[in-house]
Structure 1
Amino acid sequence: MPTYSDDDVAHLARLVQLATSDPDNLRLLSPRDACAVALLLNRLDQLPQPYSHPLAAFELLGPSGRDMVLDLYDRRSQPDATQDA
């Protein structure tokens, strides 16, 4: 059973949309959120310091954050994924 809610995933999806519209918005996010969004967008160049290595960023997310990122990644990679996921 996930340790996060659908609201948490929806919030992360909104952050991804925010960063997609303007990558500079990543600088406005907390390091944890910025890492999650950069990983989801495959923008490793946008990982904040000192988490510039993907494994350091993944570690910062913690177990529930990692699960949520992987869940949203799976949702976004589905062929019928909606624009807001």
Structure 2
Amino acid sequence: MKNDKLITIFIPVYNGEKYLQQTLTSIKKQTYTNIEILLVDDSSCDSSLQIISEYAKDDKRFKIFVKENGGMVANSMNFVMPKINGDYFF
């Protein structure tokens, strides 16, 4: 597949340490590489921020944003909308 269109993947994060490594590793291994992964940490109380920071350190496609807890995924989506650069958004 030709990598000409940028795909943005939005991942809301709140206390997801149990599932984050599996999720992020899966995305990192995708064969389509022209992606940006926008991770919005909603003030997690567990090690979620540490986990996503490790992925972002080694892979510049991962972009981390930390915001005050908004209580709903829609709040994180509204926060990240102006930061999307992709031709497609998931």
Question: What is the TM-score normalised by the length of structure 1?
Answer: 0.33
Larger radius of gyration: 2
Higher fraction of strand? 2
Higher fraction of helix? 1
